[in-house]
Amino acid sequence: MGTFTSLVWLTVALPLAGFLANGALSLRRADAKGLVSLIGPGTLLASFAVSLGVFFELAATHPEAPIVVP
């Protein structure tokens, strides 16, 4: 397999990291609305991009090929 298959764990880790960063940032700085508005959608968009990469990488393999995710 290729690059994206080894990064499949990021589809869960990126939104979790965004949640934790937004939570910590909103507790420390209440006026950080702009940064919070950038982190939230940014982490979800990055997770979606990784998911698309995994999908297209797996779609390009032979149908009977074994799929092994490390």
Residue 50: the pLDDT is 95
| pLDDT level of residue 1 (50, 70, 90 thresholds) | low
| pTM beyond 0.85, yes or no | no
* Residue scoring higher pLDDT (6 or 11): 11
Q: Write down the domain spans for the chain.
A: 4-59
How confident is the model at residue 32, as a pLDDT? 79
Residue 69: HSE in the Cβ half-sphere, 13 Å Cα cutoff: 9
Q: Which two tokens stand for residue 56?
A: 């297209």
Tens of pLDDT along 9-59?
A: 999 999 999 999 999 988 888 787 888 899 999 999 999 999 999 999 888
Closest CA to 44 of 23, 25, 18: 18
